Amino acid sequence: MLHLVRAVDGAEDQALFAGGALAFAIGAFLVLGSDGGGFSRGRDDGPDPEWWPDFERPFRAYVNDTSRRRERVTTR
């Protein structure tokens, strides 16, 4: 963007690029290095709801059944 305003020599151009890359790396570290902002559900939320085991057993059986059942793909 600075090139649109005035001519920039090679050394200044490289220094500005390195500074921008460093600023990007620091920003990425600060954003991605955080604890997630509390959006993830931790295991310290207390016990599972009463209906959960009644849901989980049939769901796991369904997943296990569909993952074992594979259809053969035929080629020409």
Domain boundaries of the chain, sorted by first residue:
1-33
Q: What is the DSSP string of 18-71?
A: HHHHHHHHHHHHHHHTS--TT-S--GGG-SPPTTHHHHHHHHHHHHHHHHH--P
Is the pLDDT higher at 1 or at 75? 75
Structure tokens at 43: 């295991």
Contact 16, 2 (CB under 8 A): yes
Q: What's the predicted TM-score (pTM) here? A: 0.40
- Give the tens place of pLDDT for each residue, 13-70: 899 899 999 999 999 888 887 665 555 555 566 788 889 889 999 999 988 887 776 6
Q: Name the helix (H) or strand (E) containing 10.
A: helix 10-32
